[in-house]
Amino acid sequence: MSYQIPCCPVVSESEEKKSRFICWFGPVSSKAVFQRQLALAQAQSPHASHHCTALILGDPANPESMQADDDGEPSGSAGKPMLELLVQHRIGDAGVIVTRFFGGTKLGVGGLMRAYRGSVSGALRQVELKPFVSLRAVSVCCDFALESRVRFLLQHCGGQCVDAVYSDRVQIDIRVPESQWAQLYERLTAAGAEVAAQ
């Protein structure tokens, strides 16, 4: 089954009994990238009470990595409900950071769960999602005369050229959707190009 990824980050804000919740929701390619985003949120809001997080790398049904952090809120009241929402909507390669400014009224575990889930739901209504497309990395070697044909075939199947190296021949590093790979391979080899996995 496929999953969805955010196209670009969004920020939404909500309020619950005078506590402010600011949600950053966006695409994430690695834990290091997410940690940098969290550090930025902490630096921008140093007086916030909490910076709760949820992260899924890869397919939410079989993730490379999945984590949630309550950042001092009662256990299971923040990170887990946010993470569950991502899984429920089949969103991967994504992270959520909800910054809370305490408003003076305790919300209780149930109230916190609703508030954090609601904060992420608000961001979900704003974010643009797109289907994840698995890409295959391949090197294509060909004569100069064949380069334009290779590029045409690549463009026709929704692939992209990542790099090209010119010596006595041309080596083009490409990324192609897995669903288009068999057909492209057939056409490239029929045209006389040499193909190797990266």
Distance from C-alpha of 100 to C-alpha of 145, rounded to nearest angstrom: 60
Instruction: Check whether 1 has a pLDDT greater than 60.
Output: no
* 156-171 exposure pattern, b = at least 16 Cβ within 10 A, e = fewer: eeebeeeeeeeeeebe
SS3 60: coil
Instruction: Check whether 198 has a pLDDT greater than 80.
Output: no
Cα-based angle 6, 22, 34 (whole degrees, multiple of 5): 50
pLDDT score of 156:
87
pLDDT score of 105:
82
Distance from C-alpha of 1 to C-alpha of 132, rounded to nearest angstrom: 10
Residue 32 identity (one-letter amino acid): A
| Per-residue pLDDT band at 103 (split at 50, 70, 90) | confident
List the domain boundaries for the chain: 4-131, 135-197
**pTM for the full predicted model:** 0.72
Asked whether 159 and 137 are in contact (CB, 8 A), the reply is: no
Per the structure block, which two tokens stand in for 34? 């997410």
Q: Where are the beta strands (DSSP E) in 3-120?
A: 4-6, 10-16, 19-27, 50-57, 65-69, 94-101
Topology at the third CATH level for domain 135-197: Alpha-Beta Plaits (3.30.70)
- pLDDT tens digits, one per residue of 113-153: 999 999 999 999 999 999 888 888 899 998 999 999 999 99
| Per-residue pLDDT band at 87 (split at 50, 70, 90) | very high
- pLDDT tens digits, one per residue of 50-75: 999 999 999 998 899 999 999 989 99
Topology at the third CATH level for domain 4-131: Ribosomal Protein S5; domain 2 (3.30.230)
